[in-house]
Amino acid sequence: MQVTFLGTSSGVPTRSRNVSAIAVRLPQRSELWLFDCGEGTQHQFLKSDLRLSQLRRVFISHMHGDHVYGLPGLLASLGLAGNSSGVDLYGPDPLENYLNGVLKSSSSRIGYPIKIHTVREIAERNAVLIDDDDLLVSSTELIHRVPAYAYRVNQKPKPGRFNLKLAQSMNIPPGPIYAALQRGEQVCLDDGRIFDGKNFCGPSRAGVSLVYCTDTLFSESAITLATGADLLIHEATYAHADSELAYQRQHSTSTMAAQTALEAGVKQLVLTHLSPRYAPGNRITPQALLAEARTIFPNTILAKDFLKLEIKGES
């Protein structure tokens, strides 16, 4: 699973950071998922090696402009390109009215199917949002000035390693039969022999997982959602010295993000959604926020626009 950061600033863009958007390239399928879509996200796509035509799902954390203003334009451009088979959108209750209002007011025509799913009830019940052949997506409520939601993507366990030598020693013909055995299926050969795939595979291998968490104060529900994740992407709008501002505006500090990662037992933390007040050259810099977080959770890195991360599971 590959993560590309398309926007890592909070509130407004800067010369080096656009506002929030993160693209996830899924394993073993030509499909992209997008988490938030701040203004200018489609321009960020053009500067990356990502293909907008592969976009299949968009997850909106909340309805503040720096997370959603880019969505109507992106969807309209995708329609003009004429190469989309459809997009599913997930987000807060107002998402549908907002999007329909902008598209109608601008006389924009979307020439492909769009489905809009509200996540509030599912997040309240801690239920599963998406369950397909390979992936599970869940969501939880956060603590912000407007309804906001975090998302978790879990890859389902993968089959164990196939014992090729055992299959060859039993003179099982290669090809589709090997694939069926690796999936754990039972196969019957032309000569009447029957084999159970479970006898040819090792233990199943854990899939990878990521959590996207913004905007929020320190949240117990975020810890629960992120428990054991391979990668936690968490906002760090403020430095610890500006905790009072964080509480007033219901955002996280770098230390809140790190404490969430520590208590959730994640493998890696990425700080994003950084306030422009910490631009390089100012009294407090992004590197200072990173240093603060690392005192609590050492395996922390700082997001920047176009940073790519590969989340790798068991080989």
Where along the chain do its domains lie?
2-158+205-310, 164-198
Interatomic CA distance for residues 6 and 305, integer angstroms? 5
**pTM, to two decimals:** 0.89
The 3-state DSSP class for residue 223 equals: helix
Interatomic CA distance for residues 255 and 269, integer angstroms? 12
Interatomic CA distance for residues 188 and 285, integer angstroms? 65
Q: Sheet holding 300-302: strands in order across?
A: 128-131, 135-141, 149-155, 209-213, 231-235, 268-272, 300-302
The 3-state DSSP class for residue 24 equals: strand
Q: pLDDT 10s per residue in the chain (315 long)?
A: 999 999 999 999 999 999 999 999 997 788 999 999 999 999 999 999 999 999 999 999 999 999 999 999 999 999 888 788 899 999 999 999 999 999 999 999 898 999 999 999 999 998 899 998 889 999 999 999 999 999 999 999 877 788 888 888 988 888 889 888 887 889 999 898 999 988 888 777 788 999 999 999 999 999 999 999 999 999 999 999 999 999 999 999 999 999 999 999 999 999 999 999 998 888 899 999 999 999 999 999 999 999 999 998 665
Active-site option among 66, 230, 242, 305 = 66
CATH architecture of the domain with range 2-158+205-310: 4-Layer Sandwich (3.60)
Considering only CA atoms, which of 46, 44, 97 is closest in space to residue 72?
97
Active site residue 134: no
